[in-house]
Amino acid sequence: MQTVTLYLDYLCPFAWRGLELIHVVAPQLGLELELRHYSLEQGNHPENQGLLQSAPVWKLAEQPLEGPKSLRAFLASHAARQQGKAAHLRFALELFRLRHQDRRPLGDDQTFVEAVARAGLDLERFMADLEDEENRRLELARDLEQAGELGVFGTPTFVLPSGDAAYFRFSELTTEPELAVPLWELFTAVLHNGAHIETIKRPRK
């Protein structure tokens, strides 16, 4: 089975749409999905300006829990990952929907508990894994390092089975398979075209 890796940040509504897209497309095209994390707060932090994404000085995984808005969501995501890839994907989808559809606060325990319930995860195990903060921080640090090595600068960024990778931003949620599959195929056609397309980007006024 071929694997698509998706870098996401729960803060980002475009990452939410990207995850909904690949969630619909993956079973249709026989793709396995691997979720990884990239942090917009780290990538855009003033102390990291002008530095390579692979060499930040301000690191999210080392910050206090009360600080950055995204840290607890990333740690919760890693806690969910302990219950397997499929559970992790369901949790990520539900956490994104709670944040970007239902406008719930991202870092609250109550939001996590609801995502766990909707996704059908084991709550007791989830809470124990979330409390094992040191290991969750180590896992997050590894994810963010890998994103940095790849040069990820925004979410969603997809890495295709071919190794081609790109940030993919679209504003209309697309979850009907008859629209989602062609949208995904358009994206992959851009990345696989022989002209080596590097960027397509609309101007913003």
Q: Which residues bind a second copy (CB under 8 A)?
A: 53-54, 149-154, 157, 164-172, 174, 179, 182-183, 186-187, 189-191, 193-205
Nearer to a second copy, 83 or 155 (CB): 155
Collapsing DSSP to helix, strand or coil, 159 comes out as strand
Nearer to a second copy, 43 or 68 (CB): 43
- Per-position b or e across 71-101, b if 16+ CB within 10 A of its CB: bbbbbbbbbbbbbeeebbbbbbbbbbbbbbe
Nearer to a second copy, 52 or 138 (CB): 52
Angstrom distance (rounded) from CA 162 to CA 147: 17
| Amino acid letter, residue 97 | R
Nearer to a second copy, 105 or 177 (CB): 177
Nearer to a second copy, 128 or 179 (CB): 179
Query: Shortest approach of a second copy to residue 186 CB, angstroms?
Result: 6
Two structure tokens written together for 143: 């994810």
Query: Shortest approach of a second copy to residue 127 CB, angstroms?
Result: 35
Q: Which contiguous run of DSSP H or E holds residue 136?
A: helix 133-150
Query: Shortest approach of a second copy to residue 58 CB, angstroms?
Result: 20
Query: Shortest approach of a second copy to residue 101 CB, angstroms?
Result: 17
- Partners of 33 in beta bridges: 4
Query: Shortest approach of a second copy to residue 48 CB, angstroms?
Result: 16
Angstrom distance (rounded) from CA 168 to CA 203: 15
